Amino acid sequence: MKSFKKTIFSMSEFGILALAMGAGKTILIGAIIATEFAMALEYPGNENFVKNALVFAPGKTILGALKELSDVPYEKMLPKRLYNEFITTVKFTYTRDGEKDIPIIKKSSFNIIVTNTEKIRIRKEDIKSNLFTGGELATEDRKEFIANQRLQTIASLPNLAIFSDEAHHTYGQKLNKELKRVRQTVDYLADNTNVLVVVNTTGTPYYKKQILKDVIYWYGLSRGIKDGILKEVRGNIVAYPEVADEHFIRDIITGFFKEYKDVKIYDGSPAKLAIYFPKIDDLRTAKPIVEKTLLEIGQDPLTALDVHNESKDETKDLFDNRINDSSLHYRVFLLVNKGTEGWNCLSLFATALARELKASNNFCLQAASRCLRQTSGNTYKAKIYLSKKNVKILDSQLKETFGENLQELNSTSQDTRKRRIILRKTEIPPVLLEKTISKVVQIDKEVNIDRLKIIQRILRKKPKKLAESPKKIIYDIKDIPDRKGVLITKAEEKIIIEEDFLHTCSFAVEISSLYRLPLMQFYEKLKELYPDGETSESNAFEIKEQLEEQIKNYKLIEEKVESALALVKTAGLNKEAEDYVTEIVYHKDKEHLLKRFQDFKELNKRNFGFHYNPYKFDSNPEVDFFEQLLVMLNEDPADIEDIYFTGGIDDPQKTEFLFEYKGKDGKYHNYSPDFLIRRKNGKMLIVEIKAERFKDESKEKEMRKIEKLNLKRLKYEILETKGEQLAF
């Protein structure tokens, strides 16, 4: 660490670590502090280690993000012995509005002070002179005293490290002529205490078109995507000729909910969209269009929240500090001067720039890239909506900032690896299970081909079916003691829907064409029921339902069948000499989870498992379960035939051990469980390893049906995990 300090620390010239948004700047700061504090505790006589840390940011939004420092998993960074001493010694302090001093003990050690720069930098506060201050001179003294009170406390702390997040703010408007007051603050501290190191981090290391000269390391967006810490945006950057009209707003709202309606992250928070507007007036003009569009696609219009300088303090606080609460109802954020640097919304999947830019400033890059932050277990891409003019600006800023262009960003995929696997056990008995299948069968009845009678039967009376009126929920934002939730239901109101209508003439033509009914007779019947010449869409839909019911000559039935499912289909593998082989694809971060047969030989003397080699595990709990099971089976094998890890191959061409279920999107998907344990008497246990937040009720419901059909031979179990630990 000592050489690192000498490399980057200079009071005349700051070293900057440029990390793309979502690359873990807060984690990096926490890691440096934790290791330095741990070494200072381990070697108390060595004065080369940091004993206090000041972390500052230029605004309240970023300050809110930096509060995550206290949630950094320090136990994963430090050995248990060092972690225990560190966590019981460290003291976190977050500065608050209205405090003249910082509530820490002067000259103490192992403090982490997180503040925004306005609270500690050198400046003179506006305090009017009065009879008690002794005139103008006393007022000036008072100004200086208030500014220095916080700085004097910090300056008393030994072995200080200073961390500046979003460090491009450190540089003033005149890059080569003057420093901002933040740098004056750092200089003041360096003159009054032993500052060991200054570490600057930023996601946008540029000033206008000039890269800051003090950048010593940068990590760009494309690199983050390849490494899997940012979402892919490949093929998902959409440009519009105009963004100031109604069609732009309607299209992005409709498109977003079409793609992300049921998408959630690991904690259950639904996917969100942020729309950036140039002015508050533009936002207010667009909001009714947003709400109307949400209503038309079946979404609550109150899921849209506007946030700007004139918003209530409660709304700003929610946006700045509680945006990641999984109970939040909001999904569409309409923003003016909000939500760029420092805004850490984990469930943000799409951004839209409803504004034209006049100059190449940092707004376009900051706003557009907000949705790229990756979350655990997510497989969905991010999406960016902008104008054609903004495409050029975004491309320019990517070049200026990270030396890459928009084409690279739009084509970069995650860094994946391929591995050749070999089928070790070719004589694997099939899995025999009873399953229920749906069949369409013909009804033994003659269809009435008298079209006129069909019309008469259907149109005896006007359908009464009306569109149901959905309800909107009105929420209030309140602080309730001892309760985490921030949204309180205030009232429910019915939403009045004005239905669309069809002209009876065009409806008659449509039905006549579809069902081969005599046009004029059908039209005359419609005119009797609808003399005004119009019918609502809901009534038209019911007429079609009645018609289908009259003429159909089929029905849907369910049937039990016994299926023999092949665990591995050799026909789907390649034959090389005597071996059946194929390839598996995985992200490079999963490399350590690939386990070979040789790695388990000592635990696996009875040759259980590894019907193919290597196994492609997805998580540490899966590996733990497999290892523990091998140990238990080696000690007491009983009548176990074999154990199979079945989650690694889910290609229907390579396995039949798949179960179909209907997802929340209304579509059918294949599900491949993790493990199959088979006894010699034909009984089986299917095991799924899953964290509680990733459990899918649709999958479990389908598996319980199959379990019920096979009570004498099958048991299905879900083992829940807590983080990287297996809870059993």
Q: Are strands 383-387 and 574-576 parallel, antiparallel or unpaired?
A: unpaired
Predicted confidence band of residue 12 (pLDDT cuts 50, 70, 90)? very low
Residues 110-147 pLDDT 10s: 999 888 766 666 655 544 444 334 444 444 444 444 44
Name which of 190-194, 234-238, 397-401, 715-719 the model is least confident about. Answer: 397-401
The structural domains of the chain, ordered by start, are 2-219 (3.40.50.300), 223-414 (3.40.50.300), 446-552 (no CATH), 564-726 (no CATH)
DSSP 8-state class, residue 120:
T
| pLDDT for residue 360 | 47
Handedness of CA 426, 427, 433, 435 (dihedral sign): positive
**117, 79, 120, 85: which is closest to 102 by C-alpha?**
120
Tokens of 480: 């309730």
Predicted confidence band of residue 3 (pLDDT cuts 50, 70, 90)? very low
The residues that bridge with 417 in the sheet, in sequence order, are: 586
**648, 651, 671, 672: which is closest to 661 by C-alpha?**
671
Mean per-residue pLDDT over the chain, rounded: 77
Q: How many CB atoms lie within 10 A of CB 186?
A: 22
Residue 489 has pLDDT above 90, yes or no: no
Coil, helix or strand at residue 533: coil
Residues 151-168 pLDDT 10s: 888 889 999 998 887 655
CA angle, corner 469, sides to 466 and 474, nearest 5? 180
**283, 328, 322, 327: which is closest to 303 by C-alpha?**
328
Tokens of 146: 């208030």
Q: How far apart are CA 617 and CA 599, in angstroms?
A: 14
| pTM of model > 0.75 | no
* Contact assessment for residue 293 and residue 249, using Cβ atoms and an 8 Å cutoff: yes
Q: Are strands 534-536 and 501-503 parallel, antiparallel or unpaired?
A: antiparallel
Cα-Cα-Cα-Cα torsion 364, 370, 374, 375, nearest 10 degrees, comes to: -170
| Rg, C-alpha atoms of the chain | 32
| pLDDT for residue 65 | 57
DSSP 8-state class, residue 435:
E
Predicted confidence band of residue 173 (pLDDT cuts 50, 70, 90)? very low
Stated as kind and residue range, the H or E segment containing 17 is strand 16-19
Helices (H), 369-418: 388-402, 406-411
Residues 88-119 pLDDT 10s: 999 998 877 667 778 889 999 999 988 876 66
Residue 62 has pLDDT above 90, yes or no: no
Q: How far apart are CA 682 and CA 6, in angstroms?
A: 68
| pLDDT for residue 423 | 92
697, amino acid identity: E
What's the rounded mean pLDDT across residues 634-663?
85
Predicted confidence band of residue 64 (pLDDT cuts 50, 70, 90)? low
| pLDDT for residue 50 | 94
Name which of 520-524, 588-592, 638-642 the model is least confident about. Answer: 588-592
The residues that bridge with 576 in the sheet, in sequence order, are: 579
Q: What is the 3-state secondary structure (H, E, C) of 396-451?
A: HHHHHHHCCCHHHHHHCCCCEEEEEEEECCCCCCCEEEEEEEEEEEECCCCCCCCH
| pLDDT for residue 292 | 92
* Contact assessment for residue 366 and residue 204, using Cβ atoms and an 8 Å cutoff: yes
The residues that bridge with 723 in the sheet, in sequence order, are: none
Q: How far apart are CA 331 and CA 349, in angstroms?
A: 10
133 against 651, higher pLDDT: 651
Q: What is the 3-state secondary structure (H, E, C) of 569-619?
A: CHHHCEEECCEEEEEEEEEHHHHHHEECHHHHCCCCCCCCCCCEECEECCC
| pLDDT for residue 161 | 92
